[in-house]
Amino acid sequence: MKKITAALLAGTAALAFTASVQAEPDGEAIYNQACMACHMTGAAGAPIKGDADAWAPRLEQDMETLYAHAIEGIGAMPPKGGHMNLSDDEVKAAVDFMLEPVL
71-97 residue pLDDT tens: 999 999 999 999 999 999 999 999 999
Cα R_g (the chain), whole angstroms:
18
Residue 36 structural domain = 25-102
Give phi and psi for 79, each to the nearest 5.
-50, 135
Domain annotation covers residue 19? no
102 pLDDT band, cuts 50/70/90, is very high
**Nearest 5°: phi and psi at 42?**
85, 15
How many structural domains does the chain have? 1
Task: Judge whether 3 lies within some domain.
Answer: no
pLDDT value at residue 1: 58
CATH value at residue 62:
1.10.760.10
pTM for this structure?
A: 0.77
Structural domain contains residue 9: no
Q: Is there a domain that residue 65 lies in?
A: yes
Torsion angle of the four alpha carbons 38, 84, 65, 26, in this order, in degrees rounded to the nearest 10: -70
